[in-house]
Structure 1
Amino acid sequence: MKIAMVCLLSCCAAALCISRFAIPEAAAKGSHSHSLGYRCPMHPAVLQDGEGTCPICGMKLVPVTASGPASDGSLAVTPDQQKTLGIAVARVERAASSRMLRLPGRVTPDETRVYRINAGVEGSFRDVAAVTTGSHVRKDQVLGSYYAPAAVNTIQLFLLNTAGYDRAAKKKSEGSLDGENVDLISSNLQQRLIQFENLGVSKRQRNEMQRTRRIPDTIEVVSPVDGFVLARNASPGFKFERGMELFRIADLRRVWVTADVFPQDAPYVRAGMPALVVAPEESSTLSGRVAEALPQFDSQSRTLKLRIEVDNPGFVLRPDMFVDVQLSAELPEALTVPTDAIADTGLRRTVFVETAPGLFAPRNVETGFRNGDRVAIVRGLSQGERIATSGVFFLDSETRMKAPASGATASLTSSPDPTGRRTSGGGAGPFQKSSGDMQAEEAAAHTSAAALR
């Protein structure tokens, strides 16, 4: 609590310091004879007829005169005052820039490289290989075998068609059979091969049946690609229906990274732009590119899901791993100013334009994107204008103290303060504090003012 009070009193002392710098010499010599009362520099609502101190912060009240700042609120600051207060001036320039977007991402398998092994016929497993979720398997590796009575008839027809084709081909070579019959038998054999694919009979097992002319006891389940097992729904004796997924295998040599992009950053992201994917746990960085697919909107996080395609040598990236994504976005050409040049009250944003040497006029502006320590100005400034880029706090404080004294003088002298803080004779009214609190606050204010001087 004490630290917060000291910080508040430091700001009060700084405002008092700038008010002393900003008072013209004529006023400092006593030209404000047409006094309308005395006001607190930090609490304009505190107004009384005579000299005294503010009952809220303890600061000395300053006289309110009919002469105030210029009608546009301009402040005159001499070169010596600018140097003392650290006020720097620079021109507003228009330029293009780039911005590094750092996005959170999650690794997902490439959908075009995910293979689902579904049952082509109902049956029951006789044997399952020692592969589990996460196991690395090779192409044509046997994952298990199952018994399917409904597939026996198709296998028998295949063997009959195979034998018939061999006889027809032999007769044709001897010239005892025309080519039309051979083509018909070949078409029947092709139909059996298509049925084998639907049943899930592997090419290796089919060739084995052609060679031995025997019906196998079980149908083997083999891996269609080198990859990792994402799901296993098989166990010895397990009975399954047609169409059920038995295994799911993904080729992770190339993966997707789904990154979250906020809507305000989405216009600067384009398809094909390079990206860097950083895996903190693996201490590695991989290169990728933004996919052509349109980003999908996530209503839960209120972000756009951006897809990045990444080559994955050594299988560094695994599904569901969290990574950091870096994109270098090219920003459009715009007027930009330092962030310190803007006084932001939350309701409006103000810059101080140097209309003449040493004369600063406040001007409200509309801001755009922010890139590092610079902010784009959408409306309110023109290229080449000179603005204060540092020390804006002092200019803003002086403007706030002068505005009530110049723009609201008539209303303050003709009607009572609506807050009830107007007092007479220097009394504290309803804001009387204990002597200990007043002494502590005065000591802190004097210390901060001495430091600013």
Structure 2
Amino acid sequence: MTLRSELVLGGAALALAAGALGYGLARWSQMDAPPSTTETGRKILYWYDPMVPSQHFDKPGKSPFMDMALVPKYAGEGEDQPGMAIDPARTQSLGLRVAEVRMGSLSSSITATGTIDFNERDVAIVQARAAGFVTQVYGHAPGDMIAAGAPLAAILVPEWAGAQAEYLAVRRIGDAALTRAARQRLTLLGMPAGTIASVNRTGRAQTVVTVSTPVGGTIKALGVRAGMTVAAGQTLAEVNGFGSVWLNAAVPENVAGKVRLGQAASATLAAYPGERFTGRIAAILPSVAADSRTLTVRIELANHGGRLHPGMFASVDLGGSDHQALLVPSEAVIRTGTRTLVMLALPGGRYQPAEVRTGVEAGEQTEILAGLAHGEKVVASGQFLLDSEASLSGVKARPIAAASASAPTAQPLGAYTTRGRIDSIAADRITFSHEPVPALQWPAMTMTFHLASPGQAHGFKIGDQARFSFDQTAQGPTIRTMAREARR
């Protein structure tokens, strides 16, 4: 190799080394350089994939997780405001609809379905009072409707003949004590009072007795036939009264806690359109049906004219008075399985999930027991998309305890005052039948208030008249002060 060739090769090697060194220095300076700024002067902290917001990158480019560009995260973005911001144009395309949290009247009635059944408390068991032979039956069969006192069978009782003859002989002697003893023996042998009276009146033995039903109704079982032998105490028939029936209503498990013994109920049947049958809850059965998750509530209905027949299907309304409650549209509630959320619509086009505790649902409205305050706004349509985006962006839900502090307009303690009669008192709540509250446009009604402290109702009792003040909180109307008043 010539000297000239060696010089050319050495120069090339030096050039390559210089280029590599320059690239390394440039790369090192890029790695150590602070995040860049945009033309508007906003400092970029890092880039991230909106679908994987926890992973940060130091420069723009394509996401390694999704086929999309990385998004810059600016300094101070969202740090001073809760929730997340959504572009107004995007909210319009999502079709978001916002509803205000408000106080309103909520019906506490429960609707259920049920079937008519026999009243098993109105059952008569007809038995033979003495051993004998069936000499006659009266053509009845199971399922027949019979009146009270209707004959079922005639029974010949041979052993009565000797006892009755003895009684008649003692009576002729005229000894009052012996006569009473002989008559007592007839009773102990199972002889009906009517048969004894007939023997005493006619002076002849009566060995055939007619067995009749003590109640009217339907024959559920009949075990007597002509010519058969019966023993003392043998069941001849079972008769179910038909003056009243049971309506067994299947109440869903989630509202079963609101039914009470003696509660009024009404039913409608397809057989009698436009007619309503009323009664009261006579029993609440102890077990829940595993397949339907319903509790059986037994309602006793009068059966005038025998119009209600076992097996008939009925729609049942378990009546309850309306009460005031904090309400949101039911479609605004998001149930995840572990908690219940709503999506708050905050000022400035921001949105934040909030935990809530719900109560009764009726008429497409859901009662909010805790987590929201009167006047706040929630998303009633499109909230599931916002909730998904909030989860991806790492936006935390507002806890229930923070709801009161976020109320848009805080009312002073005891902002509303009225008077009423105490209907019930519990550990943390009290029910008043109170006068109107003009400031809230409430009419006179019966409703339940929360107590600000457990001992607030100490010394008060049901029936007391009281003047009280309350305010609206995330938990609902809460009593602040109470003072007993003389009855008017």
Question: What range describes the TM-score normalised by the shorter chain of this pair?
Answer: 0.5 to 0.7
Contact 1:159 1:210 survives alignment (8 Å): yes
Q: State how 1:41-56 maps to structure 2 within 5 Å.
A: 50-51=61-62
Residue matched to 1:411: none
Contact 2:261 2:284 survives alignment (8 Å): no
Residue matched to 2:114: 105
- How far 1:255 sits from its partner (Å)? 1.6
Residue matched to 1:399: 390
> Whose strand proportion is higher, 1 or 2?
2
Residue matched to 1:251: 241
1:147 and 2:156 matched = yes
Q: State how 1:161-176 maps to structure 2 within 5 Å.
A: none
- How far 1:375 sits from its partner (Å)? 2.1
Q: Relative to 1, partners in 2 of residues 1:158 and 1:331: Cα closer, same or farther, differing over 3 Å?
A: farther
Q: Quick one: which of 313, 329, 337 aligns to 1:338? A: 329
Contact 2:116 2:246 survives alignment (8 Å): yes
CA distance in 2, matches of 1:307, 1:368: 25
Residue matched to 1:295: 284
Q: Relative to 1, partners in 2 of residues 1:237 and 1:33: Cα closer, same or farther, differing over 3 Å?
A: same
Contact 1:335 1:383 survives alignment (8 Å): yes
CA distance in 2, matches of 1:230, 1:27: 91
Identity %: 25
CA offsets 1:1-21 (integer angstroms, 9 cap, x no match): xxxxxxxxxxxxxxxxxxxxx
Secondary structure of the residue that 2:341 maps to in structure 1? Answer: strand
Residue matched to 1:388: 379
CA distance in 2, matches of 1:288, 1:94: 32
Residue matched to 1:328: 319
Q: Highest relative contact order (Cα 8 Å, sep 6+), 1 or 2?
A: 1
Scaled by the length of structure 2, what TM-score is found? 0.60
> Whose helix proportion is higher, 1 or 2?
1
CA offsets 1:194-236 (integer angstroms, 9 cap, x no match): 547x44x373x55544444332342211122332111111112
CA distance in 1, matches of 2:280, 2:274: 19
Which sections of structure 2, spanning at least 5 residues, go unmatched?
A: 1-36, 396-488
Q: Quick one: which of 80, 83, 89 aligns to 2:98? A: 89
Q: Which amino acid aligns with 2:393?
A: K
CA distance in 2, matches of 1:94, 1:28: 49
CA distance in 2, matches of 1:106, 1:185: 58
Secondary structure of the residue that 1:346 maps to in structure 2? Answer: coil
Residue matched to 1:219: 209
Q: Relative to 1, partners in 2 of residues 1:147 and 1:77: Cα closer, same or farther, differing over 3 Å?
A: same
CA distance in 2, matches of 1:266, 1:65: 53
Contact 1:268 1:330 survives alignment (8 Å): no
CA distance in 2, matches of 1:148, 1:157: 16
Q: Which amino acid aligns with 1:247?
A: A
Residue matched to 1:240: 230
Q: Relative to 1, partners in 2 of residues 1:331 and 1:105: Cα closer, same or farther, differing over 3 Å?
A: same
CA distance in 1, matches of 2:110, 2:314: 14
Which sections of structure 1, spanning at least 5 residues, go unmatched?
A: 1-25, 169-180, 405-453
Q: Quick one: which of 65, 68, 83 aligns to 1:61? A: 68
Q: Relative to 1, partners in 2 of residues 1:345 and 1:271: Cα closer, same or farther, differing over 3 Å?
A: closer
CA offsets 1:365-390 (integer angstroms, 9 cap, x no match): 22233224222223322233232233
CA offsets 1:168-203 (integer angstroms, 9 cap, x no match): 7xxxxxxxxxxxx87x6885587467547x44x373
Q: Which amino acid aligns with 2:239?
A: I
CA distance in 1, matches of 2:268, 2:331: 32
Secondary structure of the residue that 1:395 maps to in structure 2? Answer: helix
Q: Which amino acid aligns with 1:130?
A: G
Contact 1:230 1:249 survives alignment (8 Å): yes
- How far 1:133 sits from its partner (Å)? 0.8
Secondary structure of the residue that 1:121 maps to in structure 2? Answer: coil
- How far 1:260 sits from its partner (Å)? 3.2
Q: RMSD of the alignment, in Å?
A: 4.0
Residue matched to 1:260: 250
Secondary structure of the residue that 2:389 maps to in structure 1? Answer: helix
Q: Which amino acid aligns with 1:61?
A: M
CA distance in 2, matches of 1:192, 1:256: 42
CA offsets 1:60-110 (integer angstroms, 9 cap, x no match): 524232236457651334666555543333332344421442333343333
Secondary structure of the residue that 1:151 maps to in structure 2? Answer: helix
Q: Which amino acid aligns with 1:288?
A: T
Q: Which amino acid aligns with 1:349?
A: T
CA distance in 2, matches of 1:358, 1:297: 51
Residue matched to 1:117: 126
CA distance in 1, matches of 2:80, 2:205: 102
Residue matched to 2:339: 348
Residue matched to 2:146: 137
Contact 1:202 1:221 survives alignment (8 Å): no
- How far 1:287 sits from its partner (Å)? 1.6
CA offsets 1:333-364 (integer angstroms, 9 cap, x no match): 43221122123333332222234253322212
Q: Relative to 1, partners in 2 of residues 1:51 and 1:273: Cα closer, same or farther, differing over 3 Å?
A: same
Scaled by the length of structure 1, what TM-score is found? 0.64
Q: Relative to 1, partners in 2 of residues 1:72 and 1:225: Cα closer, same or farther, differing over 3 Å?
A: same
Residue matched to 2:302: 311
Q: Which amino acid aligns with 1:63?
A: L
Q: Which amino acid aligns with 1:128?
A: V
Q: Relative to 1, partners in 2 of residues 1:400 and 1:186: Cα closer, same or farther, differing over 3 Å?
A: same
CA distance in 2, matches of 1:262, 1:159: 67
Size of the alignment, in residue pairs? 354
CA distance in 2, matches of 1:92, 1:239: 78
Residue matched to 2:24: none
